Structure 1
Amino acid sequence: MSELTPRGEGVAGDPAIQRRLEAAWPADLPPSDERELLATGRALLRADATGIGRATWPEVFPDSGTAVAPAFAVARFRIQAAIARRDGRADRAVVHLVWAGMDRGGTFTDLRITDWFFTRAEKKGAATWTWQPRT
């Protein structure tokens, strides 16, 4: 397998990052769970980095009712690769994201890493994945 693309490769390097991540950590969740977790993990990261959508998760972003300057410019933020995998047990998962963004100071950095942790619980007869703080 080819080496991980060098920093600064841009969007063209993102597929190689995704392939490398998938090869390093093989899939171990049902496809429907993986899709749900990836969608939620991506939305959480976007909300965290850009401020957009924070009100959706008041337990994650308790300050979402106040004006918060985004840490990263929306136009200069992208998720380069993402996977969702079990985190030790069948009822726990982690969404591992590799991303790029330009901060308020104008510094652009790629290959940033964020992990979001979830537990699976029954709610009203249906299983759902719920974000968990890392303690």
Structure 2
Amino acid sequence: MPHGEGPAGDEAIQRSLDTAWPADLPATDERWLLAAGCALLRADATGVGRDRWPTVFGGRRRAAAPAFKPSGLRIQAAVARQDGSPNRAVVHLVWAAVDHGGTPTDGRVTDLHFTRTRKGEPPWIARPLI
């Protein structure tokens, strides 16, 4: 279990994010982006589901070893907001994880960036990780 307050502190982190960064996207976009952002973070951190994101990982799918155990990752808080224009968004995630050596960490921060598609599914596409 991560150090700090653990899951008991997650609600306070979420409230702080919501207060500091007011919503500016339609609710349907925000929900879609949050689900996609959480799935993309899990894929990056644990390796599980990387094949769902070929434009993000490309050849990295096999090259980069996952740093964290899938069962040890927890999203502590997340918001999706515009990123300079209505057609760009950032999903800001605060998360906790246990690495393969058993070391827990919490309060990790990741920003994932998305661009709105002109039409069709999905409505947003993830931009490659830096």
* TM-score for both structures, normalised by structure 1: 0.86
Secondary structure of 1:21's match? helix
Q: How does 1:1-135 map to 2 (within 5 A)?
A: 8-62=4-58, 63-64=60-61, 66=62, 69-124=65-120, 128-133=123-128
Unmatched runs of 5 consecutive residues or more in structure 1? 1-6
If asked which structure has higher relative contact order (CA below 8 Å, sep 6+), I would say 2
User: How far apart are residue 134 of structure 1 and its match?
Assistant: 6.0
Amino acid in the other structure paired with 1:71: A
Kindly provide the amino acid, as one letter, of the partner of residue 55 in structure 2. Answer: E
Quote the offset at 1:8 in angstroms. Answer: 1.2
Q: Which runs of 4+ in 1 moved over 3 A?
A: 66-69
Q: 1:51 and 1:26 mapped to 2: Cα distance?
A: 32
RMSD over equivalenced CA pairs, Å: 1.9
Aligned-residue identity in percent: 61
Do the aligned residues in 1 keep the contact of 2:74 with 2:95 (CA within 8 Å)? yes
Tell me the TM-score normalised to structure 2 length.
Answer: 0.89
Pairwise CA distance, 1:70: 2.3
Q: Which runs of 5+ in 2 are unaligned?
A: none
Could you say which structure has the larger radius of gyration?
A: 1
**More strand, by proportion:** 1
Displacement of 1:123? 2.9
Higher helix share: 2
Q: 1:92 and 1:68 mapped to 2: Cα distance?
A: 27
Aligned letter for 1:29? L
